Chains A and B, each alone.
Chain A
Amino acid sequence: MKKEEERFDLHIGKSNSSHNAAQIKCENLMNEKQSIMTLLYEQTVKSQSDYRTQLNVSIECAYFLLHQGLPFRGHDECECSSNQGNYLELLHFLSRNNEAIKRVTFSEAPKHNKLTSLDIQKDITQAATKEITNVIIKDLGNSLFLILIDESRDISIKEQMTVVLRYVDNNGHIMERFLGIQHMSDTIVSSLKAAIEALFSKHGLNISRLRGQGYDGASNMRGEFNGLKALILNNNPSAYYVHCFAHRLQLTLVAVTKKHNEVGDVFNFISSIINIVGASCKRMEVIREKQYARIIEGLENGEISSGRGLNQETSLGRYGDTRWGSHYVTIFRLLAMFYQFFMWLRL
């Protein structure tokens, strides 16, 4: 027995014996809190929650800018720039004012994952587009609808097809929802048709539920035999075409102002007057002072009533052929300031 104990003590040995070393290693291994797996796991949980905060902030910034229709990018986005553009500046603002955000953005963020690059911004924006169109399509549901289409060109001179859906929602309200724009390389009927079909299939809309079409009066759109209208009518005879009434009214007005000699003269004179008087800021200043003096005088005499939105400073209001109601605004303002104009010209 004694011999065995001795043997055992000998086996344990001194503090740095191989038995003790093995025992410490074993204890370390058994300690769950220190195990590699746990550490890794904890690290992942932390980085996941950090990533989530970071992503949320990026989405919030994009949401704000999209909602206000502001541009994302700035002229100079390098870190030394004093104005890095709306998106980055908004992020900076948020991280300055929130400790939790500051902890995970910019210099604190992992270098390969800052979530501020252009691709990320675009991804978030596109996700927002998808979400919005999904809501629209869901709201539309199975009800009948009509489409309004027009071409518009953007600032970089690209032709684009704009599509608006009009339908009655579940509460019985008429909804007009902008579905999207589609870049078009040309505007011949077949490519328009193809683009519309692509759009319909992308959003799961059925052409047989279409009950109306609204375009402007261009021949490729409304042509009786080969216009887009006719092609869609071939597929679905109940998709009636209606030319925008307000547009037709404006076309009539424009035709009258151009073709009727006397009316045309009047409008030409008006535009000359506006050009002469409005050409220089100094001249406008004189007119404005006079108008101001006259309003003050009128208010003191009680001839003009004061109120919200009344007696506002107005500009001259040029008319344009594609601005609905602009002719009226022009004449109305000219008559309101006729006296000042006249006195100014006669001096």
Chain B
Amino acid sequence: MVEIIREDMMNSEQRTKVVVLTGIMESFNFVFMLHCLRRILVVTNKFSQALQRKDQDIENAISLLKTSKEQFKMMRENDWESLLEEVSSFLHQI
């Protein structure tokens, strides 16, 4: 069924794109970046959610900002190995 859809729905341009994208999704770099970005965005997202609370005040917001920055610093210094592990276990799953 999948083949049928593939044959039917794609023109040559899309087929080329699929080939390129498959290669990219296979690459370690892409998966690594995804996981790295996810870790960063988890922090910023929590920060953003907290900022959008109605009862937030500016002092609290600044201390939140400091905490987030410290979290980034910690990640930069200590978390590389756990990140690598996470990526490789993810790749093993696939």
Chain A residue nearest in CB terms to B93: A339
- Please determine whether B33 and A325 come into contact, CB atoms closer than 8 angstroms: no
- Please determine whether A341 and B54 come into contact, CB atoms closer than 8 angstroms: no
Q: B84 at interface (Cβ–Cβ under 8 A)?
A: no
- Please determine whether A345 and B33 come into contact, CB atoms closer than 8 angstroms: no
> Interface residues of A, CB < 8 Å — how many?
36
Bound complex: CA A173 to CA B54 (Å):
10
- Please determine whether A176 and B54 come into contact, CB atoms closer than 8 angstroms: yes
Contact of A266 among B21, B30, B48, B51 (CB under 8 A): B30
- Which segment of A1-9, A58-66, A218-226, A241-249 sits at the interface? A241-249
Bound complex: CA A276 to CA B18 (Å):
8
- Please determine whether B25 and A342 come into contact, CB atoms closer than 8 angstroms: yes
- Please determine whether A262 and B21 come into contact, CB atoms closer than 8 angstroms: no
Residues of chain B from 1 to 51 with CB closer than 8 A to chain A in the complex: 1-3, 5-6, 9, 14, 17-18, 21-22, 24-26, 30-31, 33-35, 37-38, 41-42, 44-45, 47-49, 51
User: A344-B2, A347-B3 in contact; A328/B30 too (CB < 8 A)?
Assistant: no
Closest Cβ–Cβ distance, residue A268 to chain B (whole Å): 10
- Please determine whether B3 and A335 come into contact, CB atoms closer than 8 angstroms: no
Contact of A272 among B6, B21, B37, B93 (CB under 8 A): B21
User: A286-B2, A344-B2, A347-B2 in contact; A327/B41 too (CB < 8 A)?
Assistant: yes
> Interface residues of B, CB < 8 Å — how many?
38
Give every chain B residue within 8 A of A344 (Cβ-Cβ).
2
Mask: chain B, 48-76; 1 = CB below 8 Å from A; 0 = not: 11011011001001000100000000000
Chain B residue nearest in CB terms to A343: B94
Closest Cβ–Cβ distance, residue A176 to chain B (whole Å): 6
- Please determine whether B6 and A347 come into contact, CB atoms closer than 8 angstroms: yes
Closest Cβ–Cβ distance, residue A181 to chain B (whole Å): 20
Contact of A246 among B14, B17, B24, B51 (CB under 8 A): B51
- Please determine whether B17 and A335 come into contact, CB atoms closer than 8 angstroms: no
Q: A52 at interface (Cβ–Cβ under 8 A)?
A: no
Q: A310 at interface (Cβ–Cβ under 8 A)?
A: no
Bound complex: CA A327 to CA B49 (Å):
13
- Please determine whether A280 and B9 come into contact, CB atoms closer than 8 angstroms: yes
Bound complex: CA A342 to CA B51 (Å):
36
Contact of A342 among B35, B41, B45, B94 (CB under 8 A): B94
Closest Cβ–Cβ distance, residue B25 to chain A (whole Å): 5
Give every chain B residue within 8 A of A282 (Cβ-Cβ).
5, 9
User: A262-B33, A273-B25, A325-B49 in contact; A286/B1 too (CB < 8 A)?
Assistant: yes
Give 10 nearest A-B pairs by CB, closest first. A328-B41, A246-B51, A328-B45, A266-B33, A245-B51, A345-B22, A325-B45, A174-B55, A331-B38, A342-B25
Selected A-B contacts with CB under 8 Å, 29 pairs:
A174-B55, A176-B54, A242-B58, A245-B65, A249-B47, A249-B48, A266-B33, A269-B24, A269-B30, A276-B14, A276-B21, A282-B5, A283-B5, A283-B9, A286-B1, A328-B38, A328-B41, A328-B45, A331-B37, A331-B41, A335-B34, A339-B93, A339-B94, A341-B25, A342-B26, A342-B94, A345-B22, A347-B2, A347-B3
Given contacts A339-B93, A342-B26, A345-B25, 8 further A-B contacts (CB under 8 A): A173-B55, A246-B51, A273-B21, A280-B5, A331-B37, A332-B41, A345-B22, A346-B22
